Amino acid sequence: MLTLEEAQAALRARITPAAASETVPLRLARGRYTSAPLTAAVDNPAFDNSAMDGYALNHAELVAHGFRLPLAGESRCGAAPQALQPGTAMRIFTGAPVPIGADTVVMQEDVERVGDLLRFPEATVVGDQVRRRGEDFRAGEALYPAGRRLEPHDIALLATAGVATVPVVVRPRVLVVATGDELVAPGEPLAPGQIYESNRLATLLLVEALGAEAVDGGVVRDDPAALRVLLAGAMDYDFVITSGGASVGDHDLVKQVFGEIGKIEFWKVKIKPGKPVAFGRLGPRTHFFALPGNPVSSLVTFKLFVEPALAAWHGSASRPLEVPAVAVNGFKRKAGRMEFLRVRLENAGGELRAEVLKGQGSHQIGTLRHTQALLRVPAESDGFDAGARVTVLPL
C-alpha cells in the first residue's frame, strides 16, 4: 500500500502531458491552460493618466505661482488633450491622459476657487495622482508561463495587455462511467435493492469545471464482458474515470478487467476514505482511474488524484491548496491511515476555524450540504483536541 505522497508522485511520473495546443479567443479561454508563455502587447497603463477627478498642472509652475493657477482646458477619457498652457491648470477626469507639460494632478476635493484662480494645497507633491505609463507592466513583458490555468481575472489582465487570443493546451477528452447493478438514474422508479446513481454526475461536472471535455459513458453493469467492451472502446480518450467495483468484493470487477486490458500502477493507497483507488494506463494514450463507489470516497479521491493528474496532463505542477486552520471541536481515532474529514469553515477574527461535521461515514453524502473543506489527519495521528492547529484543503 502506498502513502498518499507516494501515490501522487507515482501519478505525476506516469502522466504523459498533452502534445497538442490550439489558439482560442479570450472569451473561451477560461479554465484552459496556457501552452506557451504569454507576453503583454502594450504597456499598462498605456499612457500617463489621472487617478482622480481634479486638475492637472506643472508642479514647478505651481510653486512659482504661489499655489494659485487659472483654469485652462480639459482632458477627458478617450481623447488626447492639448498641451498644458504654461502657468495654468487643466481640468482632468479619472483615467484621462495627463497633458504634455503637466506632471501632477490634484484631486478636486482639495482645490478651492478664488475668483478666476484655483488655489491648491501647499502639501501638493510632484507626481501626485498620476498613474505612470508602464508602471504595472510593459509591452513585451512576460505575463504568464506555459502551464498556467486561466481564471476570469487572468482573462481581464490579458485583455488589458492587448492580447486577443491565447495558445492553450487542447482539452483532454475524459470518459466518465459508473459501474454497479444497483444504479438507477434519478427520475426512474427504484426497485428493491436499487439506488440512485450520483458519482458519474458529480465526476462529469468536476471534470468540466477543470476545463476538460467530459463524455458521459453511462452506467455499466457488474459484468466483466460489458467492462471489457467499455475499456476496449476507450483507447481514444485521454482519461477514463470509473466509479465503483474497485475493491475486492466478488462483483468488484473493475480492477480485474483494468488489469487484463491495461497496466495498473497502483490500486491501494493508505487513506480514508478511498483506500481502493486504482490508477493506470490503457494503451498508449489513455490514463485510467477507478474511483471508489461510495459517493464521498469518490469525491475525495477525485480531489486527491484526478485533479492533480489533469493539471499534470496540462503541463501544470499545481497541487490542491492546503491551508492552516484551528479545530472548533476535537476528533479521536486509531492512528494508521491518513484521513480526510469533512469540515465546515468559518472565519473568526481573521483566523480560519474548521468544524468537523457529524456523519463522516463515506456513504453519508448528506454531510456534503455543510462541507467546505477536507481536514487532513496525518497517518500517525490519533486525533486532535478542540483548538488544535490542523490543515484543510478547501473544496
Evaluate whether 321 touches 307 at the Cβ level (below 8 Å).
no
Distance from C-alpha of 279 to C-alpha of 256, rounded to nearest angstrom: 13
Residue 245 or 308 with smaller CB distance to ligand AMP: 245
> Which of these ranges, 95-103, 209-217, 292-300, 354-362, lies near Mg ion under the rule CB under 5 A?
292-300
Q: Are strands 276-282 and 183-184 parallel, antiparallel or unpaired?
A: unpaired
Distance from C-alpha of 310 to C-alpha of 172, rounded to nearest angstrom: 8
Distance from C-alpha of 256 to C-alpha of 228, rounded to nearest angstrom: 10
Residue 99 or 293 with smaller CB distance to Mg ion: 293
Binding of Mg ion by 315 (CB under 5 A): no
Q: Are strands 173-179 and 213-220 parallel, antiparallel or unpaired?
A: parallel
Binding of Mg ion by 292 (CB under 5 A): no
Binding of Mg ion by 244 (CB under 5 A): yes
217 binds, options Mg ion, ligand AMP, none, Cβ within 5 to 8 A by partner type:
none
Grid coordinates standing for 297? 470516497
Other CB atoms within a 10 A radius of the CB of residue 173 amount to 17
93 vs 73, 106, 215, 294, CA distance in Å? 12, 11, 52, 60
97 binds, options Mg ion, ligand AMP, none, Cβ within 5 to 8 A by partner type:
none
- Closest-approach residue to ligand AMP (CB): 293
Binding of Mg ion by 180 (CB under 5 A): yes
Minimum distance from residue 221 beta carbon to ligand AMP (Å): 12
Residue 29 or 299 with smaller CB distance to ligand AMP: 299
Residue 86 or 186 with smaller CB distance to ligand AMP: 186
308 binds, options Mg ion, ligand AMP, none, Cβ within 5 to 8 A by partner type:
none
38 binds, options ligand AMP, Mg ion, none, Cβ within 5 to 8 A by partner type:
none
Minimum distance from residue 339 beta carbon to ligand AMP (Å): 18
286 vs 120, 169, 204, 289, 340, CA distance in Å? 70, 17, 17, 10, 29
Residue 200 or 314 with smaller CB distance to ligand AMP: 200
Binding of Mg ion by 276 (CB under 5 A): no
Give the length of the chain: 395
Minimum distance from residue 364 beta carbon to ligand AMP (Å): 12
Q: What DSSP state is assigned to residue 303?
A: I
Minimum distance from residue 269 beta carbon to ligand AMP (Å): 15
Distance from C-alpha of 111 to C-alpha of 99, rounded to nearest angstrom: 19
Q: Name beta bridge partners: 196.
A: 184
> Which of these ranges, 142-150, 178-186, 282-290, 314-322, lies near Mg ion under the rule CB under 5 A?
178-186
Binding of Mg ion by 245 (CB under 5 A): yes
Other CB atoms within a 10 A radius of the CB of residue 295 amount to 20
Query: For residue 72, which of 54, 53, 91, 58 has the smallest C-alpha distance?
Result: 91
187 vs 29, 205, 368, CA distance in Å? 35, 19, 21
Number of residues that bind Mg ion (CB under 5 A): 4
Q: What is the CA radius of gyration of the chain?
A: 30
> Which of these ranges, 5-13, 141-149, 289-297, 355-363, lies near Mg ion under the rule CB under 5 A?
289-297
Residue 195 or 232 with smaller CB distance to ligand AMP: 195
Residue 169 or 277 with smaller CB distance to ligand AMP: 277
Q: Which residues bind ligand AMP (CB under 6 A)?
A: 178, 180, 182-183, 195, 197-200, 243-247, 249, 252, 292-295
Residue 45 or 245 with smaller CB distance to Mg ion: 245
34 binds, options Mg ion, ligand AMP, none, Cβ within 5 to 8 A by partner type:
none
Distance from C-alpha of 395 to C-alpha of 107, rounded to nearest angstrom: 44
Helix, coil or strand: residue 11: helix
Grid coordinates standing for 251? 462483483
Minimum distance from residue 31 beta carbon to ligand AMP (Å): 25
Give me the residues that bind Mg ion (CB under 5 A), please.
180, 244-245, 293
